[in-house]
Structure 1
Amino acid sequence: MSLWNRVLRIVAIIVLTPVIFLLSCQSRLIYFPNPYRAEYETALRKAKGERIRYTTSQGAQTAFYIPPHSPPSSGLPQTIWLCFAGNGSLALDWLRHTPGWDVHHAYLLIDYPSYGECEGEPTPDRIRESGKAAVAALAAHLQTTPADMHPRLAVLGHSLGSAAALMAADDLDVRRGVLLSPFTTMTDMGRIVLGWPLCHLNRHRFDNQKALGHVAARPGARFVIFHGGDDEVIPVRMGRELSQAHPQVVTFHEIPGGHHNDLLETDAPLIGRAMEGVVAGAQP
């Protein structure tokens, strides 16, 4: 083999190795599924929560319905929040915060495929499928229809969960929501982590700019974004960019000194008040 061919082979190996790695292991860099521990069962019972079981293309899935602390005398709850956690969290992690929020609100806590008690592997399309199926399953559980539930739905998401929340809002025509630490697109995140051009190898193309654009164009849409000023994972400029694209629909709150994973720990009451305002029809 000539020297030139050897050089070309070495260059090809150097170039292709990271490409092959990113294409084959990409899911492991984005999703961090965990199983539930025994203490989660205790928390679920304390919240009088119920498992909502359903099936998707990924197999058996489980979401969790948390009824309002002050249930209505008849009919459906005032508001049902569809809650989506970050990529290293589980649906039942929301239970640390829901007791401090409006007593008339209910919550559907939705895990992703492979998280918690859910089978399968996550991708944007599979997460989207799971969100829609979970709402249909809850409607059956409450002995109503998705159409009857629709006016009461709102979305809540953190980090990756903001993308899941916006996909659910887009698919289900939900026009109210609160987003915590959202990114613009997953490709933009890849540009931060990997640089150009490797960011374009992204196969999990979450696009919050597109989804929020769809939802914000609908009459009566109201959203609030919270983002930590010192977010070390998703830059605060991304949350700001999303809100600035729709100033008549989205209110933006930058939390001074806030980090990626502490907004719910330090600002849960503020977030709870924003949730109340969104569903009450307060102007952003």
Structure 2
Amino acid sequence: MKKDQAGKVIRIILLLIVIYLLAGLFLYQYQSSVILRGTKLPRNYTFHFDYPFREFNLPLNDTDRLNMVLFEADSAKGVVVYFHGNTSNLVHFARYVPVFLQHRYDVLMMDYPGYGKSTGPNTEHDLYNDALVTYQLARSYFPADSIILYGKSLGTAMASHIASLHPCRMLILECPLYNFDMLARRYFRIYPVSMLLRYHFPVYRFMQHTFGPVVIFHGKKDRVIPYRQAEKLKPYLKKGDEFITLPRGDHNDLYYQPLYQQVMDSLLSK
């Protein structure tokens, strides 16, 4: 009887080990699909927005294109290069454009490969290169001191990376990561995530080399990227940088918070 029970326990343990290894293999193999959950659009899809815009399809190679839209303000005094989050595509994130247009800032928003009409490889290195292509397009229209780099959630990695390499008027981070390793450990505690991950997005490292002022917004009720993780960025803020806490803010509603609107109105009016 005891041998049967011992054998049963061993089989259960072996089964759990197999499940653990298979799940870990899945996480490693398909992590880009888990992290980058964009919604694709047909290449011939026609955009419709409530404000003037121009569409760009910049070639990355012989077959792949980086799709982006420039939303145009009246008598623009600058441009906001907006890097969105890890879901949907720019059609969804266009809802956040009006606050910038109202303050006479154009908004240049690109879709990462696999999002919207953009195609191509989407390694972390590729995402940074695509962000650079977007910044360079903005520079062809405006000087660096008229460019605001804006990152939301995942996009904070791209925005802060560019800000660590190139000058800008301001870097604004909404619901930023500290790095992706820390966030992944929250969801996959039983795995050595730093060894498994091919995406790291070290915002904290980029923050140490940024040009220009930095403003961070984060909600205390954020259930996607915990507030306490964003707080770890505070030591990397320079004199004059700001960390704005929204007590009732969640991950996707900061745009509608009165404090966010008040601060953004002040920042964009300068």
TM-score (norm 2): 0.83
Match of 2:40 in 1: 35
Q: Deviations over 1:207-245 (max 9, x none)?
A: 000011111xx4xx2111111111011111122221233
Aligned residues: 256
Worse overlay, 14-23 or 32-41:
32-41
Does 2:24 align with 1:19?
Answer: yes
Partner of 2:152: 158
CA distance in 2, matches of 1:229, 1:274: 22
Aligned position for 2:70: 65
Distance 1:40 1:260, change over 3 A: farther
2:239 aligned residue: 248
CA-to-aligned-CA distance 1:91-130 (integer Å, 9 cap, x gap): 2434323323343211111211111110124222111111
Cα distance change on mapping 1:98 and 1:14 into 2, 3 Å: closer
Residue in 2 that maps onto 1:236: 227
Match of 2:201 among 191, 199, 206: 206
Contact 2:222 2:251 in 1 (8 A): yes
Q: State the partner residue of 1:127.
A: 127
Task: State the Cα distance separating 1:274 from its structure 2 match.
Answer: 4.9
1:253 is aligned with what amino acid?
I
Instruction: Give every structure 1 segment of 4 or more consecutive aligned residues whose post-TM-superposition deviation is greater than 4 Å.
Output: 6-12, 36-40
Q: What's the Cα RMSD here?
A: 2.8
The CA distance in 1 between the partners of 2:138 and 2:178, in whole Å, is 30
Change (3 A) 1:138 1:247: closer
Aligned equivalents of 2:26, 2:193: Cα separation in 1: 13
The equivalent of 2:98 in structure 1 is 99
Q: How much does 1:192 deviate?
A: 0.6
Confirm or deny: 8 A CA contact 1:233 1:260 kept in the other structure: yes
Preserved CA contact (<8 Å) 2:160 2:206? yes
1:178 Cα deviation from its structure 2 partner:
1.1
- Does the CA-based 8 Å contact 2:103-2:268 persist in structure 1? no
For residue 40 of structure 1, report the CA deviation from its aligned partner. 7.7
Report the Cα distance in structure 1 between the residues aligned to 2:202 and 2:26, rounded to whole angstroms: 23
Structure with the higher helix share, 1 or 2: 1
Q: Is the 8 A contact 1:86 1:160 kept in 2?
A: yes
1:250-265 pair list within 5 angstroms: 250-265=241-256
* In structure 2, distance between residues paired with 1:173 and 1:248: 17
| 1:54 and 1:134 in contact (8 A); partners too | no
- Separation (CA, whole Å) in 1 of partners of 2:167 and 2:88: 26
Contact 1:239 / 1:252 at 8 angstroms: preserved in 2? no
User: TM-score, length-normalised on structure 1?
Assistant: 0.80
Contact 2:69 2:108 in 1 (8 A): yes
Residues 8-66 of structure 1 deviation map (CA, whole Å, 9 limit, x = unaligned):
976763442122111111112111111359998221xx311001221225811111111
Q: Percent of pairs identical after alignment? A: 21
